[in-house]
Chain A
Amino acid sequence: MSRIEKVFETKRKSGEKVLIAYLMAGHPTLEASEELVYALERGGAGIIELGVPFSDPLADGPVIQAAAVCALENGTTLRKIFDMVSRIRQKTQVPLVLMAYYNSLLGYGVEAFFDACKIAGIDGVIIPDLPYEEQQEVTPYLVENIPLIPLAAPTSGSRLQKILAHARGFVYCISSLGVTGTQDGFHREVEGFLSQVRAVSDLPLAVGFGIASSQDVRRLAPYVDGIIVGSAIVRKIEETGGNPQAVEALVKELSDS
């Protein structure tokens, strides 16, 4: 059983949800990111998603865009992120998922990217701009036990069957249209959408985009197995200059709700 499967299985047995916490690698610095990963785990995060900074992050809102600019300005590269992941792996078994735009993989080399994921100890990869129809470009290079996490949107409709048929890991359900950190509220049919995904897939479901408060968590938790929090954490990192205690406290509050 993979580390991701184990986390969902353990939480399911105890009737709890998995909190998936996102941070941008290299924001405010890579050294700080490493400490923040441990803080997120202490705060109760079951899976940690590491953003790879990209110059043109199409799926992200202003908070994560600004974090990416910061990470790029201080020289963060995929190579350095893999080095950090290797160091983290010597200290903890918390599942680590990389979220990278496709051009970052192309720049690194797709085959080399997945090999590096395996060596460093990555547990899954999310590529927000590589939809199902384009994934055959990377499938020859996928390595065992590092799934490409599928995304499902309220607009996916009849596509769900196709995009989830051979999926592994967990399903990343998008709670609202728009970019990450959206303030517009969840999609009007979010509950129906989550139930529809549940009917189509046996994988654990996690929901993200615009989840910032305990209230948001309580509203969506009944429909899913995991809750993804990104911009709210990145904002806290930005405000506190990457203070691990502050971030740990935020995650603790969210995971207790």
Chain B
Amino acid sequence: MHMKHSGKFGQFGGQYVPETLMQALQDLEHALEACLADAAFMTEYNRLLNRYVGRPSLLYHAEQLTKKLGGARIYLKREDLNHTGAHKINNVMGQLLLARHMGKRRVIAETGAGQHGVATATGAALFGMECTVFMGEEDIERQKLNVFRMKLLGARVEPVRSGTRTLKDATNEAIREWVRCVEDTYYVIGSVVGPHPYPLMVREFQKVIGEETRSQLLAAEGRLPDLLVACVGGGSNAMGFFHPFLEDGSVRLVGVEAGGCGIGTGRHGAAVAKGKAGVLHGMKTLLLQDEEGQILPAHSVSAGLDYPGVGPEHAHLSETGRVRYESVTNAEALNAFRLLAETEGIIPALESAHAVAYGAKAAPLMDRDTIIVVNLSGRGDKDVHTAAGLLEGEL
């Protein structure tokens, strides 16, 4: 663990926040550093992952899908099987333990698809903390199931009506709320975004995905994979999945951004493909923006990828070329959503369906003795309502 991080990933990252938050970020940095180095803290974290989240998650050999596509052997890292149905809970367990360690009794969070909101509400219920989740009105509409789950878990869901009424503005409101009550409130950021130390911390609490994948695949196949594929909104599942493989030059890493209606249409969420360096939500990173530096609205059928930026470490990894970023359209993601349901009996989250779609495109082009691992970051129950609307008449 190399702590005392500069907070920068190449030219990206940093702490671009109002002065009011600076002391809190520095306190957080120190507390995080101490906890990550504390064996008792890490034992407690791992115990929660094991006994509450249900880790390790399966590394599943998708034989039917492999047979159907003809080409590389496809494995799925089953983050969808975690408690609450996505990878988000890994990070929440770590951050809530940290919040408790720091003596905070109230937590706030932003959410897009609602998975991070549900995970935070879940953890808050378990830890006996008060929880408020900020969620855009448009997302509240398309993720009704998750809104109800959060309320059932005792959280307050605060509808955000400003701007795009999606994840970007939910994050603005959560940061504004944090500025207001920074003295007694812990802000649980759900992705590898925001000011330092959040991108680093969330990666640390998600890298269990890649670590497990590595040892599980070594056990099953006796070798490393040829290609890892994960979807990228802010990019926490991808960062946790890729990080333990960054030094393995033989492993190709592909992050899949939301292509929306096509990245030539202006209606997409492909911040790496189409963004330029800028500052939003406390970080310098690649952002969809106009020439004046105004942030442009993102678009994706999946609420979790509907974000105009990307984590600063992803921006850096795209610049160094270690990770390649591709995009998959709404239509391709929906096809993959059906494909996985029909071939393997697994309904992926629409976010994760982007990664499945890319994997399905890549597999037939690869030899039969090669291995692809797709990170199935979440399950699709929350998206059935949206998908039913879009696939109506086709089923």
Contacts and interface: CB of A to CB of B under 8 A. Distances in A.
Query: Are both chains from one complex?
Result: yes
Interface stretch (B43-51, B141-149, B205-213, B289-297): B289-297
Contact of B180 (A102, A129, A178): A178
A87 interface: no
Interface in B22-67: 22-24
B193 to A, nearest CB: 13
B23 A55 contact: no
Interface stretch (A42-50, A155-163, A215-223): A155-163
Contacts of A102: 16, 279
- Greatest chain B CB density within 10 A among A131, A156, A184 is at A131
A104 B292 contact: yes
A178 B181 CA distance: 7
A104 B291 CA distance: 9
Given A65-B162, A177-B179, A128 B18 contact: yes
Interface in A44-94: 54-56, 58-59, 61-62, 65, 72, 77-78
A61 B24 CA distance: 21
A239 interface: no
Nearest to A128: B18
A130 interface: yes
Interface in A110-162: 128-134, 151-157, 159
Nearest to B161: A62
A173 B289 CA distance: 31
A15 interface: no
B143 to A, nearest CB: 22
B367 interface: no
A65 B163 CA distance: 9
A174 interface: yes
B225 to A, nearest CB: 38
Contact of A56 (B22, B168, B180, B183): B168
B132 to A, nearest CB: 15
Contacts of B20: 153-155, 174, 177
Interface string B138-156: 0000000000000000000
Given A131-B17, A155-B20, A177 B181 contact: yes
Contacts of B266: none
Contacts of B181: 177-178
B317 interface: no
22 contacts: A54-B293, A56-B295, A58-B175, A101-B279, A102-B279, A103-B278, A104-B292, A104-B293, A106-B293, A107-B290, A128-B18, A129-B16, A131-B18, A131-B19, A151-B19, A152-B19, A153-B18, A159-B19, A177-B180, A177-B181, A179-B179, A184-B180
